[in-house]
Chain A
Amino acid sequence: MPSTATPSLSLVRSVTKLANSCYLRCHSLVSHIGGFIVYSSEIFYHALHKPLRVYETIQQMEFVGYQSMMIISVAAYFTGAVFSLQVGEVISIFDAQSLIGAITCDALANALAPIITGFLVAGRIGSSMTAEIVSMKSKEQIDALKVMGVHPISYLVIPRVFACLFTVPCLTVFFFLFGSIGAFTVSTFVFFVDAGLFLEYAILKVNWDDISLMLGKSLVVGWTVGTLSCYFGLRAKTGNHGIGQATVLSVATTFIMIMILDSLITFIETIIL
């Protein structure tokens, strides 16, 4: 008799465990969505109210923008170079190497620059913002802010979100320029395309619509990195484990959100507009 009862019992246990795990994950997801809506509304409220955090925002802009320029320029140069190398190999079959500049610059403006800049900023700056806020939480510094009558969203989140909003578009333009230089190097020195022809086709293909789309995407990316990094920092459990967990969750969620939002904007721009 027990031989028939045991497998069914273990099956029930497994199903119950699975159902419980699904419930907890759904609960956590709903709680995060609700929490993020409230948090976003608080950001809007504090962004429109005094005090203006000009000094703190400039400090954060230096951290987000200036300190990321090196990594952005190196990553952009090699992205542009490798991309044009791949493209050049294919289009040289059709003897159309002169189009390398147009294809690479178009890809950089429409997709690569905002996404890769977003990934780099999320990985380098977003993770650091999350870790800093969790560390502040562990050391009771956020409680100290509250008891001094200072709202943590106003003091910690607003400068970081604004810094990301202002600097990510600049970094994206920077990425686009350095990526184009990478593509230009490969195009002229590997595929021997005339420099003037490279520029002519690139300028012909990349117009103001592409640039404004790139800037629009980068604004969304900046908002996503700034808000999510601070959100996961404020929601995290304290302690060393909490810092690690929050940082991983923050970076992973930001990456996914950047991809989803980028696809959505591209879809709207291509299909609807």
Chain B
Amino acid sequence: MIAFQFKNVSKSFQNLSVLKDLSFRIAKGELSYIIGRSGEGKSVSLRMMVGLLRPDSGEILFEGDDFLQFSSKELTKFRKSVGVLFQHSALFDSLSVFDNIVFPKKEHSQRLWKTDARWLRAEAENILEIIGLKGTMDSMPQDLSVGERHRVALGRALITKPAILFYDEPTTGLDPIYAKKIDELIIQTKEKDPNLTAVVVSHDIHAAMRYGDHIIMLKNGSTYFQGAPDEFQNSTDTYIKQFLGGHWF
């Protein structure tokens, strides 16, 4: 079943055209990678999938329904069922690691009483164990390294047990060790819940080849390639070969 489908989506910012007739699909339960050079519209596509941006033209379907026609209530309901890991973590500076992690849980609950605090703490502890940051519950985000902040942000995205997880360049700016840890967490999360749909926007072609079920490559704001990692690797296309070799122009 298809989770998301983009049909001839275009988007411009002032005079700069970022997406041009972009069409692709993301299947349910798959780990899809959207790759491409900087400025090709990868993050713009992701922001459209969570309703932060609207296209100038084209269609976006979510499970067959017109996503662009969602009412604000439907959009809120949809957003409560997804998790997003932002490029710069987007943790709230004034809240501790614990408060950041349980933030969506607290917000989505109608009312939380004192007795729920213990349950929330147990949930947060469980998440911190998964992301390998046990003992940092009361730390502030500014006391953590960039990689750790990324992991806390992932914890915040995971706590609501989302049906779809979006990762916006999760390893950009991280050293290879932290980048590997984040990649491992992406895989672990997917393995724990095979029904989870994950969309990763990345430059990291090797991670996409290794872990992805589906690769979408963008060029000049349009889909250049769409298919399985094997097809991508065996492609005879010069541009893809250059991309794989790491020396594109």
Contact = CB atoms under 8 A, between A and B. Distances in A.
B107 A150 contact: yes
A11 interface: no
Contacts of A144: 84, 86, 90, 92
Contact of A146 (B52, B87, B108): B52
B88 A147 contact: no
A25 interface: no
Interface residues of A, number: 14
A141 B103 CA distance: 12
Given A149-B76, A149-B80, A139 B107 contact: no
Contacts of B90: 139-141, 143-144
A50 interface: yes
B110 interface: yes
Contact of A148 (B77, B79, B88, B110): B79
Given A149-B77, A149-B107, A155-B107, 10 more contacts: A139-B88, A139-B93, A140-B86, A141-B91, A143-B47, A143-B86, A144-B86, A146-B79, A148-B104, A149-B80
22 contacts: A51-B110, A136-B92, A139-B90, A139-B93, A140-B88, A140-B90, A141-B91, A141-B92, A141-B93, A143-B52, A144-B86, A146-B51, A146-B52, A146-B79, A147-B50, A147-B79, A147-B82, A148-B104, A149-B77, A150-B104, A150-B107, A155-B107
Interface of A: 50-51, 136, 139-141, 143-144, 146-150, 155
A229 to B, nearest CB: 17
B142 to A, nearest CB: 12
Question: Which of B77, B79, B87 counts the most chain A CB atoms within 10 A?
Answer: B79
A28 B79 CA distance: 32
A147 B84 contact: yes
A105 B90 CA distance: 49
Given A144-B86, A147-B50, A50 B104 contact: no
Interface of B: 47, 50-52, 76-77, 79-80, 82, 84, 86-88, 90-93, 103-104, 107-108, 110
Contact of B108 (A139, A143, A147, A149): A149
A140 B85 CA distance: 11
Given A50-B110, A141-B92, A143-B52, A149 B79 contact: yes
Contacts of A141: 90-93
Contacts of B110: 50-51
A40 B4 CA distance: 35
Nearest to A50: B110
A149 B78 CA distance: 8
B234 to A, nearest CB: 36
Contacts of A143: 47, 52, 86, 90
Contacts of A149: 76-77, 79-80, 104, 107-108
A148 B160 CA distance: 10
A207 B104 CA distance: 50
Nearest to B72: A151
Contacts of A140: 86-88, 90
Contacts of B87: 140
Nearest to A141: B90
